[in-house]
Structure 1
């Protein structure tokens, strides 16, 4: 590294003579030309449509979080975004490492690893095609953009629910560095650091890293052993090279390691263990249970005394090359992402062997995107390109059912997926106020389940195996929209869009080949209209939207009836369903007051309009052979909160050469109806957080004291069952901490 750069970094740290750069304590970046004490709502630039635009000039429902927002709200994973983003929900299946995403009620419940999500996650424009690949640390980020609604044109992977774009911080033109330390309840600790700047006239480098440790708040109800300690570390190197005056290349190398404890559930109903007795329900949600039988421990290569654990490594490399012609920009993004996952969970939350689960997964994805985009002035702006991706997954999924069924289920398979698509979108300004948008994407995908087998240990003579099960699709998706500017401060928009989510396979422990039949792709037609406005000299922002979703072949976790084996868990397609709702977002920042207020309200409703689902109890009463009996679910609730609410307020003031910031944020999610029955409904809940930050008026450090869930609200993230146990995954109790940051 260039010696002058290193000396500059050391010198500036020693003198402490530079202000914290780039962001206000409240998390809103200053708009160009705006004075720090003037108040008002700054302009936010996004790239949601693959070019830089003000968020208020984009006819889309999009939320933007800055680096300061993420720090203030303790966002260290993509899952944490649900606490600060209207309409977004992320829950991990049974508390394990498989996240389930949902935006505006469009989601996909699946505890297997092999299927695509309804919400695409992208880091620096690179798609993470499997949900299990998204669970690394979020750190050293410039901003996060959350798009609501189908993304069927400009993004690498077609989705029906939306997209989460994480844009990491780029190398800086001048030497800079920073470090943030955080320590809180239950011994939770985080340290994040970066160093950035030029190393030659044409090369800039940014090195960043983060580690997260501790935080165990759950305990074994019998032994008192703690559970839930984090042990995550990640590092990134971004190298930017100005190869020519018109050509830039950025290489992104990143690596992560997760050796954390798993999460536990608690029993919200008593559980009957055959031949053992009844275990009472837990009155304290921090209590849980687990165990490893010697046979299962030997099979998965773990110590018999081990707690639920993760032993995951992830990494990748991507190269982005941009060349600017006179009025056109060429962009190429070449990427490779990989995950090695070893994870043990105890889903029955007891010491009995009813549902002890182990995953050993190896996933890789290689992708290439090439696009051309207009860059000159004119009424017509356009972007078009090609996208290719090849994905591989190998997984062993083992379940210890010894105490309930007398065997260990051993499922192994491989899966490949190959996707190629062409896309394009054009925006045409008919007048200075009226703009028309049209986008299309043609995508072909082949997805194949290979060498699938389920066997039992010891061998019971039951199980299945198959060499190859294919599926795929060729689909046209797109968007048509219109935008009309009432004036410089108000935009009206309306869009019709079509999104598709890939079909796939139910890769669970199964005893019948009928369980491996692929489910079809789901299609969502979305109709949305909205308004974006900045009023009162940019001190009041009002954004509102209303939408209607027409859902075809929605993918639903259900059961099928096999004549020999009875009910088999499987993902099926519900022919028709619908979702409709409205959202309102308000920001108020009166000039010269130091006050900031944000509010966001989402109302939505979803129901099946055509779906005959298996009535499990009635069907099993016909056995043997078993015959499927169906119940009409038309009018049945889709099972997501009808009301979501996020709000916050902060106030800055000067105090003898220092600035003090007091802030609070709060969120509400209404009750969630479960498709499994009313006993698994999740009650609605409020969460409230607060913080006070002190910083010198001109100095390089900040100090924050904070509390999360300060009302110590008890709440569940989800409720479910596995074999005999009714379990709930609880949210974290009240936590408190301090955060210190030094930057220049």
Structure 2
């Protein structure tokens, strides 16, 4: 099978195939316009490593959630958090391992310029998207929030000047149905509206190993309404209201090693459950005890009961012919209720529940230069307030004779000023400089861990924050038409926070510090011919106080899990992207990436060495990890090819294939939990008339049926579990527009 996949990759080629406008002409890769630097530019004129995917490409490749982006973008990994599934973004190896809801990500997620600082809020469906821009490296001098890893920008389609409407329907394997639709057009000369939505049902590919019941059906509904008002020349107001509900079943975990259950109480062995097949189609659950505690229906399955909604107002005003003022006011709300079974069995060893209420207010104001000038600049201010009230329950009746009930409140507010300027010294040479200063206060309040109703400790208030400067210096050189060389040095900052899940002793919730990343990058962007585009970059990251999930020693309790700071580490690597358009109908592209990281200074606790001494206190030794690798995947490659085959004088058959290979992903838990390398390939066929707005097609996703896991972990010494990727699936699509 691997040989077949390698052969296919060799014959076809590509990755990151962009939608090429018809106006680009025969044999041209076309121009992609982005707003990555807060103004419209050709992607080839932006001195930053970035990749762009159009909405058409996302739909054709079956990308309906942010987790699937990792198979389409160089150096990006999106790992679902253990058990909960909330996305954990990692760009160029810069990521954050934490399944809690309360801490900030290393990669900033923006939807229509609004930041989503709570990872669980980013799990909604992708629909009616114009494009996705993925920027690699620290971002902060142009954005409201500061990040160390990069930024992912989702840009929705705007209301249209003329009436238009359309729908895209899909039916696939395992009873999956998905429908997406929109209506757009003017209400008056100054007012336009666009309403869009998506619904998804079915798709369960797993069954209970004992009862045969299905698990994994989707039940999602999301919608968005955009109202654009231009009351006068130079004035544009965009009101965005959106929301959704998710009543889907969870993807079940499976046992990749035999599981010795406790089953009947502490110290009493239960039955041994054999390892499940590696295809992940077999799972197990038993949530009756937890269901009674949280008031869900008896016989509940691993599932979600989540609601989200939000609104934003983006106002743009031309202050003068050369200056534009932009204001973005937003509010986002998430109500999260989720059940999961971490031991993947009917045994009550680790059944969990999330009850989260999160909200985010933000306000951004910025001034920016307009038009093409020698001096281009952006200056702004940003304020954000976050509130999180959360309850996290673990039913460990059979493993520890306990139910652990954690609750807390967290508040975070930040205010920052940022700006960046570029100055063209000559037509060839441009200098770039940016700066940012940020103040943040983060408060943990009323934290309590109840074990069978008895609190472990009472001092549950903690505070942390930051007052940090960051910035960027860059140089762009354009020695010839179609060629740009760039270099940059930047400093990024990620907030500190608190370890809140399963924290049973006071020092476990003590804050960890912010992390700092010094990033150095050089690259080039080139169009050596109309049909050829070649971009590349190399980078070196100097990490300070990297946030790492590890353990610390408590003299009274032994080893306890906590996020700690590794004093010094480094990551280096690069990417190379190639696009080809030999004819107007054929488009091919490739992207390859490499990264490697190691610790330079980190004395980590050896959890296996922790013992209790004669005095009743626990001690242990540390491991000097200086020179040891940071657990990240090294190589990545993705490819795509598309060809429009004419059928007579009236129709075209569009053929498209894309694939992705990811290197082995090491785990900090040890080799048993490493994720093996994997190939994922997809293909589509779409029939379209040359005149008319309808199409019909068929698709295959995970075409070769690759068996792969999204994450691996364990609960206590016994249950080694994995979250499987979707198996091979096939389906048909029907679309039409007006």
Report the TM-score range of the alignment, normalised by the length of the smaller protein.
over 0.9
What per-residue deviation string (whole Å, max 9, x for no partner) do you get for residues 142-201 of structure 1? 111000111121112111111110010100001111100011000111100000000011
Q: Counterparts in 2 of 1:11-160, with a 5 A limit?
A: 28-30=19-21, 33-35=23-25, 38-160=26-148
SS in 1 for 2:609: helix
Q: Is 1:634 matched up with 2:636?
A: no
What per-residue deviation string (whole Å, max 9, x for no partner) do you get for residues 313-335 of structure 1? 00100001110022100000000
Any conservation in 1 of the 2:17–2:640 contact (CA below 8 Å)? no
* CA distance in structure 1 between the aligned counterparts of 2:381 and 2:613, rounded to whole angstroms: 53
Q: Is 1:448 matched up with 2:443?
A: yes
* CA distance in structure 2 between the aligned counterparts of 1:622 and 1:279, rounded to whole angstroms: 36
* CA distance in structure 2 between the aligned counterparts of 1:65 and 1:133, rounded to whole angstroms: 21
- Going from structure 1 to structure 2, the CA distance change for 1:620 and 1:243 (only over 3 Å counts) comes to farther
Q: Is 1:170 matched up with 2:194?
A: no
2:9 is aligned to none
2:594 is aligned to 603
Segments of 5+ residues of structure 2 without an aligned counterpart are: 1-15, 263-267
* CA distance in structure 1 between the aligned counterparts of 2:18 and 2:107, rounded to whole angstroms: 25
Q: Is 1:571 matched up with 2:566?
A: no
1:618 is aligned to 609
What per-residue deviation string (whole Å, max 9, x for no partner) do you get for residues 691-736 of structure 1? 1111011111111111011111111111111123111111111000
1:684 is aligned to 677
Deviates more, 1:301-310 or 1:423-432: 301-310
SS in 1 for 2:672: helix
What per-residue deviation string (whole Å, max 9, x for no partner) do you get for residues 361-401 of structure 1? 00000000000001144210100010000000000000001
Structure 1 residue 34 displacement after superposition: 2.9
1:229 is aligned to 217
Q: Is 1:303 matched up with 2:297?
A: yes
Q: Counterparts in 2 of 1:666-705, with a 5 A limit?
A: 666-705=659-698
SS in 2 for 1:114: coil
Structure 1 residue 641 displacement after superposition: 1.0
* CA distance in structure 2 between the aligned counterparts of 1:685 and 1:318, rounded to whole angstroms: 40
1:506 is aligned to 499
Structure 1 residue 462 displacement after superposition: 5.5
* CA distance in structure 2 between the aligned counterparts of 1:621 and 1:272, rounded to whole angstroms: 26
SS in 1 for 2:230: strand
Any conservation in 2 of the 1:450–1:466 contact (CA below 8 Å)? no
Any conservation in 2 of the 1:27–1:67 contact (CA below 8 Å)? no
Q: Is 1:716 matched up with 2:709?
A: yes
1:495 is aligned to 488
* CA distance in structure 2 between the aligned counterparts of 1:272 and 1:646, rounded to whole angstroms: 40
Segments of 5+ residues of structure 1 without an aligned counterpart are: 1-24
2:172 is aligned to 184
Q: TM-score, normalised by structure 2?
A: 0.95
* CA distance in structure 2 between the aligned counterparts of 1:27 and 1:175, rounded to whole angstroms: 26
Any conservation in 1 of the 2:50–2:136 contact (CA below 8 Å)? yes
What per-residue deviation string (whole Å, max 9, x for no partner) do you get for residues 334-374 of structure 1? 00001000000101111111110100000000000000001
SS in 2 for 1:106: coil
Choose which of 531, 536, 542 in structure 2 pairs with 1:539: 531
- Going from structure 1 to structure 2, the CA distance change for 1:347 and 1:322 (only over 3 Å counts) comes to same
* CA distance in structure 2 between the aligned counterparts of 1:277 and 1:379, rounded to whole angstroms: 74
Any conservation in 2 of the 1:291–1:353 contact (CA below 8 Å)? yes
Any conservation in 2 of the 1:105–1:606 contact (CA below 8 Å)? yes
1:384 is aligned to 379
* CA distance in structure 1 between the aligned counterparts of 2:662 and 2:641, rounded to whole angstroms: 19
Any conservation in 2 of the 1:489–1:534 contact (CA below 8 Å)? yes
Structure 1 residue 219 displacement after superposition: 1.0
SS in 2 for 1:186: helix
1:331 is aligned to 326
SS in 1 for 2:121: helix
* CA distance in structure 2 between the aligned counterparts of 1:720 and 1:705, rounded to whole angstroms: 36
* CA distance in structure 1 between the aligned counterparts of 2:407 and 2:65, rounded to whole angstroms: 29
SS in 2 for 1:145: strand
- Structure scoring higher RCO (CA < 8 A, sep ≥ 6) equals 2
Structure 1 residue 293 displacement after superposition: 3.1
Any conservation in 1 of the 2:66–2:87 contact (CA below 8 Å)? no
Q: TM-score, normalised by structure 1?
A: 0.94
1:734 is aligned to 728
* CA distance in structure 1 between the aligned counterparts of 2:194 and 2:545, rounded to whole angstroms: 45
SS in 2 for 1:322: strand
SS in 1 for 2:343: coil
2:550 is aligned to 558
Structure 1 residue 29 displacement after superposition: 4.1
2:252 is aligned to 264
Structure 1 residue 302 displacement after superposition: 1.1
SS in 2 for 1:349: coil
SS in 2 for 1:297: helix
SS in 1 for 2:70: helix
What per-residue deviation string (whole Å, max 9, x for no partner) do you get for residues 400-452 of structure 1? 01000001000000000000000110000000011000000000000000100
Any conservation in 2 of the 1:96–1:263 contact (CA below 8 Å)? no
1:471 is aligned to 464
Give the aligned CA root-mean-square deviation in angstroms. Answer: 1.3
* CA distance in structure 2 between the aligned counterparts of 1:405 and 1:588, rounded to whole angstroms: 59
What per-residue deviation string (whole Å, max 9, x for no partner) do you get for residues 116-137 of structure 1? 0001100000000110111111
Q: Counterparts in 2 of 1:652-663, with a 5 A limit?
A: 652-656=644-648, 657-663=650-656
Any conservation in 2 of the 1:507–1:516 contact (CA below 8 Å)? yes
Any conservation in 1 of the 2:256–2:722 contact (CA below 8 Å)? yes
Deviates more, 1:296-305 or 1:481-490: 296-305
SS in 2 for 1:298: helix
Any conservation in 1 of the 2:17–2:589 contact (CA below 8 Å)? no
What per-residue deviation string (whole Å, max 9, x for no partner) do you get for residues 248-297 of structure 1? 10100001100000121111111112321322111242111110133x21
Q: Is 1:433 matched up with 2:428?
A: yes
Structure 1 residue 629 displacement after superposition: 1.6
What per-residue deviation string (whole Å, max 9, x for no partner) do you get for residues 503-555 of structure 1? 0000112220010110000010110000100122x210000100000011000
* CA distance in structure 1 between the aligned counterparts of 2:116 and 2:440, rounded to whole angstroms: 16
1:16 is aligned to none
SS in 1 for 2:24: coil
Choose which of 736, 739, 743 in structure 1 pairs with 2:737: 743
What per-residue deviation string (whole Å, max 9, x for no partner) do you get for residues 92-113 of structure 1? 1224232211011100010110
Q: Is 1:422 matched up with 2:378?
A: no
Choose which of 335, 338, 341 in structure 2 pairs with 1:340: 335
Q: Is 1:278 matched up with 2:269?
A: no
* CA distance in structure 2 between the aligned counterparts of 1:127 and 1:518, rounded to whole angstroms: 24
1:528 is aligned to 521
* CA distance in structure 2 between the aligned counterparts of 1:403 and 1:193, rounded to whole angstroms: 48
Deviates more, 1:370-379 or 1:662-671: 370-379
1:11 is aligned to none
- Going from structure 1 to structure 2, the CA distance change for 1:650 and 1:622 (only over 3 Å counts) comes to farther
* CA distance in structure 2 between the aligned counterparts of 1:51 and 1:171, rounded to whole angstroms: 19
1:644 is aligned to 636
Any conservation in 2 of the 1:444–1:473 contact (CA below 8 Å)? yes
SS in 2 for 1:160: coil
